[in-house]
Amino acid sequence: MQNLLCLTSDDSAAGYLKAHHSRSTSQPQIVSLPLRLIRTPLASEGAKLDETCVLSRLDAADRVEIYVDPDPNSQLLMALLLTRACAAGLDGGKIHLRHGPLRWAHVDSGTPPDTVALPVEVDDAHMTAARAIWSAYAAPSPEAWLSLSPEDLAHFPAMHQAWDALLDDLPRADTGLGACEHLVLETIVARPRRVGDIAGVFAQSPSPLIALPQTVALLSSLASGAAPLIEGLNGRLGEDDFADDVDALDAFRDSQLALTALGRSVLGGETDIVKVRGINRWWGGTQLKGHTCWRWDNRSRMLIPPARPEM
């Protein structure tokens, strides 16, 4: 009997597989790897892959299937897994990728995986491309990411979309907003909206950049400091403590958010928020910090390097 290992990028996708295989005579190993690889230091616990455990499972399995969602975080996780498997000298031929056209968590448990996406056997070209992609993302500047070849990206159906979405999450040339900040402000510019509504906008995106815990932390950040961009938020919750206090979460979720005058000015392109508030967050292996940082000009499709301090 073949020893099948199924890897997913979140618990919900693993739930789909467990429900689908609940009546099967042979039960595969189903392992969820909910790593946060976007807007997180790659050395942090939330972004660390338990290599000893995962690689030993990969080595012991007769066949491995990686269920890949189209969102950027899942694309990066796939690249990381293949990179680590290659570095460990594991047989790539037993690894197969299932590229879901939608998130695997949204598939009905009665639907067989083969009707959603047929498995693609990993070959040397996949391994080489994955190493190039992960190395570029983990580099200390976004230049290598921009320079990734179309040929490397083309080995994975949703990788070009992820490549573009991640560039768009760099601070913009005019406003300093990343894609996530811009989406929050754009969602509430016309009228006040509940936190729950904003979380829904992120969750319903076909290719979300961040998950709920990071959305909670982002809203807290935008409402804090001497120059907040949004107002009306009840309490401040962090990425890892938002579920600790049910009452605090309820009050937080029901907050009615609106833009401050500064928020409107930034969204309108009149103010550069990085120059006003500064920045301190991660983009892959690049730390964006201070009042000058890497930026992305989508119109010219060019990176703008940090300004050098005046001597």
pLDDT digit string, tens, across residues 31-49? 999 999 999 999 888 788 8
Average pLDDT over residues 101-114: 95
Average pLDDT over residues 287-310: 91
Q: Which residue has the tokens 């990686």?
A: 66
Domains and CATH numbers, the chain: 4-168 (3.40.50), 179-272 (1.10.10)
At residue 107, what are phi and psi to the nearest 5 degrees? -85, 135
Q: Helix (H, G, I), strand (E, B), or coil: what is residue 302? A: strand
Judge whether 142 and 286 are in contact, CB under 8 Å: yes
**Rounded CA gap, 66 and 44, in Å?**
23
Confidence of residue 311 (pLDDT cuts 50, 70, 90): very low
- Per-residue H/E/C for 182-251: HHHHHHHCCCCEEHHHHHHHHHHCCCCCCCHHHHHHHHHHHCCCCCCCEECCCCCCCCCCCCCCHHHHHH
Q: Model confidence over 223-278: pLDDT tens digits? A: 999 999 999 998 776 676 656 667 777 788 889 999 999 999 999 999 999 999 99
At residue 72, the pLDDT reads: 98
**Ranges 29-38, 61-70, 244-253, 288-297: which has the least confidence:** 244-253
Confidence of residue 111 (pLDDT cuts 50, 70, 90): very high
Average pLDDT over residues 132-140: 98
At residue 125, the pLDDT reads: 98
The number of angstroms, rounded, from the C-alpha of 301 to the middle of its chain's C-alpha atoms is: 21
Question: For residue 52, what are its two tokens?
Answer: 């000893």
More confidently predicted of 62 and 26: 62
Q: Would you say residue 104 has pLDDT above 90?
A: yes
Q: Would you say residue 191 has pLDDT above 60?
A: yes
pTM of full prediction above 0.85? yes
At residue 242, the pLDDT reads: 59
Report the 10 Å Cβ neighbour count for 24.
8
Tell me what percent of the residues of the chain surpass a pLDDT of 90.
Answer: 82
Q: Model confidence over 8-27: pLDDT tens digits? A: 999 999 999 999 999 888 89
**Rounded CA gap, 17 and 197, in Å?**
29
- Average pLDDT value for the chain: 93
Average pLDDT over residues 47-64: 93
Name the maximum alpha-carbon separation found in the chain: 71
